[in-house]
Amino acid sequence: MIKILKAWLTKSNQSYNGIEYSAEVTINKNMYMSDIIDEMIKDGLEIDHALATKVIATFNKKSSDLVFTGNKVDTGLVSMYPIIKGLLYNKTWNPNVNSVNVSIIPSNELRQGMFETKVEIAGEQAAPQIENTTKEQVQGYENFKPIGRDPKNDIPACGLAFRAWLCKA
């Protein structure tokens, strides 16, 4: 199978260099497990669709269970292993800061596919425009009028102190 990706170019807003572009791959369609099984059957694999679905779903569940019990799992397409994100303060797990994640590394077959894939440039898309300039934002702030309550009658003491500090009044 010839592997060709079509991509659209967008001028980079991250650089002052006018010749730098980023490329966005055009996604043909979303392929789900059922669609892939249909493609395999269309290619001549003689297997019952329901059986293939059950085998793949069981394989995925078992792979997930193995990863989250501390194993490095190589599925033939990717290698996966669990990692912990966030620093453990005072040697304590904090679910608000820490989380369990999975590191995924492509297999040799997947990496080989990356090298064999050709990219065709479909064209150039217009760069997204920046909506407000800094000057417009400052003017918008200066013209700000609160909605609802009257701020003169709704100022707590700390608000007065903050305003006095801010305005040096």
Q: How far apart are CA 121 and CA 69, in angstroms?
A: 44
CA dihedral 144, 147, 152, 156 (to 10 degrees): -100
More confident residue, 75 or 158: 75
pTM reported for the whole predicted model: 0.64
Cβ proximity of 5 and 25 under 8 Å: yes
More confident residue, 23 or 16: 23
pLDDT at 1 over 60: yes
Confidence of residue 147 (pLDDT cuts 50, 70, 90): low
Task: Write down the mean pLDDT value for the chain.
Answer: 82
Confidence of residue 20 (pLDDT cuts 50, 70, 90): confident
> How, if at all, do strands 118-125 and 99-106 pair?
unpaired
Query: Of 28-32, 38-42, 164-168, which gets the smallest average pLDDT?
Result: 164-168
**Helix residue spans in the chain (DSSP H):** 33-42, 49-67, 108-116, 134-142, 157-167
Fold for domain 4-125? HU Protein; Chain A (4.10.520)
Neighbours of 38 (CB within 10 A): 14
Residue 11: name the closest of 29, 23, 2, 26 by CA.
Answer: 23
Domain parsing of the chain, residue ranges: 4-125, 134-167
pLDDT at 159 over 70: no
pLDDT at 156 over 70: no
Reported as a single tens digit per residue, the pLDDT across 97-138 is 999 999 999 999 999 999 999 999 998 887 655 555 555 555
Confidence of residue 76 (pLDDT cuts 50, 70, 90): very high
- The pLDDT assigned to 14 comes to 74
Query: Residue 37, exposed/middle/buried by CB under 10 A (0-12, 13-18, 19+)?
Result: buried
Q: How far apart are CA 8 and CA 24, in angstroms?
A: 5
